[in-house]
Structure 1
């Protein structure tokens, strides 16, 4: 499982936008996005750079969380 820190989300619409974008990335099996924790948990074998790019294309900032 990969954890992404996501900055810029302010509401549930933002959460759904990030979730939809991540689900479109090849290799993603499941996504959980938390507005409160400003993070996304991604299950599957997706390329981390592709995940970050997908979030950024929606207008948010993303980085791998440790």
Structure 2
């Protein structure tokens, strides 16, 4: 299932890795695509949407649907 999030606060490659790692803690096989300029994170995962959103937010980023 595809989940798309608007994520504020990603400014560099480290941010992208932090978001990707957070998603992988929820679903190790998830595919993550990040468009920093658009503040968009697209996740292909069978995990619950809320679990993915929470994991990204726990890294310190503001996450909107």
Q: Does TM, normalized by the shorter one, top 0.5?
A: yes
Gaps of 5+ in 1: none
Q: Which runs of 4+ in 1 moved over 2 A?
A: 26-29
The Cα of 1:28 is off from its aligned counterpart by 5.2
TM-score, structure 1 length as denominator?
0.84
1:42 maps to 43
The number of residue pairs the alignment matches comes to 64
Structure whose residues are more often strand by fraction: 1
* CA RMSD between the two structures: 1.5
The CA distance in 2 between the partners of 1:8 and 1:26, in whole Å, is: 22
The Cα of 1:51 is off from its aligned counterpart by 0.9
Gaps of 5+ in 2: none
Change (3 A) 1:39 1:28: farther
The CA distance in 2 between the partners of 1:14 and 1:51, in whole Å, is: 16
Q: Residues 32 and 40 of structure 1 are in contact (CA less than 8 Å); yes or no, is this contact kept in structure 2?
A: yes
TM-score, structure 2 length as denominator?
0.85
